[in-house]
Structure 1
Amino acid sequence: MALRNPFSIFGSFRSLHLTQQCLRTVHTESKRSRSKPAPVPTPFVPNVETFLKLIGRDMSKHASKFPSWDKLFSMSSTELRDAGIESAEQRRYLIRKRSRFTKGWYGPGGDLEHVVDGAAQLRVMEVPFKAPATNTEVRDSTIVDLLNHSATLTPGMRRVIVNLPPDAIEYKHDPSKQLKRFKGMKIHNSVYIAGPYLQPIAGTNGSAAIIRVEEGMWEDKLGHKVDGGERRRAEVRAKRRAEERRKERA
């Protein structure tokens, strides 16, 4: 008896082959990710507890499940589940935030160098200004800011944001070192320092501020569903109107 569709069996074998190939690829990628060395802790993120506190979503309660920094960045999703992180959503979130940190994609404060007990100071200071040599340097935002507010500057100087220990007052500029830009931090009106989670220091007129490790500073906020979400919104609102009309007639 002839098959109705002799090609269907070959299609099934081909589908099975592709599925097995995909599984092998996923398994290989998983092994590669686990074999990568853990990133080096930063002054702002020195340990497991601080990392979990920064990424929020109540991940701090799982700190005891990670005996070391290397373990935090090497455990697979299955190992995380076996360790007691039962929510798949939380496991995916942790793995995503681990990957970003490994790539150097820090949140506010992650790129600071002078941190003491989870706190660091950012201050607007004047440093010697070297005239730009190329048109590319002229387009630099720092130089544009300098040109726009040159009347408020000391001649031959420019304003930059520097990172100091929390109790430091003086800053000694080293011309041999390249000045660093800190994510999310900027100079407002050529005088004030602006950025997320900054706490101005009294008596500095807004030119200096402290940033401290806080719960959820790097958290990816979840969206808020209104009336059941986009798909069910019309249905939910229609039911509500019908219920209101029923109550009015009663």
Structure 2
Amino acid sequence: MLASLRSSVLGQARRLHTATGRTAVVPEPRGKIQDAESFLKSIGRGCDEYASKFESWEQLFTTDSRTMKNDMGISTKQRKYLLAWLEQYRQGRDTYPISLPSPKKKK
């Protein structure tokens, strides 16, 4: 009985966590960033090559990771970087490019 109650509660928590009915907050463009292309250019790491895949500002902020992977062909590293910056922008942080660390030379 306790095991079935526990699995039921955990299952409900999982469903709440992965609910697809969530709506993404789409912030207003600000400063020099006025569209999806300028946002992608400003965060760097070659994200501007995906500008053609996002038709609008709203689509940039509402597209989920699975869609970016399956329909747009964006790699895992790029998706994680892009999604992290989208969340930072939602929270009011201004964008800037973060360069990849250079590989260490072997001795």
> What interval of TM-score do these two structures reach, taking the shorter chain for normalisation?
0.7 to 0.9
Name which structure has the greater RCO, CA cutoff 8 Å, separation 6+: 2
Counterpart for residue 220 of structure 1: 98
Counterpart for residue 93 of structure 1: 81
> Percent sequence identity over matched residues?
30
SS in 2 for 1:83: coil
Report the structure, 1 or 2, having the larger helix content.
2
Report the structure, 1 or 2, having the larger strand content.
1
Counterpart for residue 68 of structure 2: 80
Deviation at 1:23, TM superposition (A): 3.2
Counterpart for residue 15 of structure 2: 24
**How big is the alpha-carbon RMSD for the aligned residues of Structure 1 and Structure 2?**
2.5
* Structure 1 runs, 4 residues or longer, greater than 4 Å off: none
TM-score, with normalisation over the residues of structure 2? Answer: 0.79
**Alpha-carbon spacing, 1:19–1:225, altered in 2? closer, same or farther (3 Å):** farther
**Alpha-carbon spacing, 1:67–1:219, altered in 2? closer, same or farther (3 Å):** same
Unaligned runs of 5+ in 2: none
Deviation at 1:51, TM superposition (A): 0.4
Deviation at 1:22, TM superposition (A): 5.3
Deviation at 1:31, TM superposition (A): 4.0
Deviation at 1:42, TM superposition (A): 1.3
Post-superposition CA distance 1:44-81 (Å, at most 9, x none)? 10111100000011111111111110000000001111
After TM superposition, list the pairs within 5 Å mapping 1:1-250 onto structure 2. 17=7, 20-21=11-12, 23-28=14-19, 31-32=21-22, 35-81=23-69, 82-85=71-74, 87-107=75-95, 218-227=96-105, 237=107
- State the aligned residue count: 103
Deviation at 1:89, TM superposition (A): 1.2
The 2-side partners of 1:31 and 1:92 are apart by: 21
Unaligned runs of 5+ in 1: 1-9, 108-217, 228-235, 238-250
One-letter amino acid of the structure 1 residue matched with residue 94 of structure 2: Y
Asked if 2 retains the 8 angstrom alpha-carbon contact of 1:48 and 1:63, the reply is yes
Of structures 1 and 2, the larger Rg is shown by: 1
The 2-side partners of 1:96 and 1:27 are apart by: 18
Asked if 1 retains the 8 angstrom alpha-carbon contact of 2:61 and 2:86, the reply is yes
**Alpha-carbon spacing, 1:219–1:21, altered in 2? closer, same or farther (3 Å):** farther
**Alpha-carbon spacing, 1:103–1:225, altered in 2? closer, same or farther (3 Å):** same
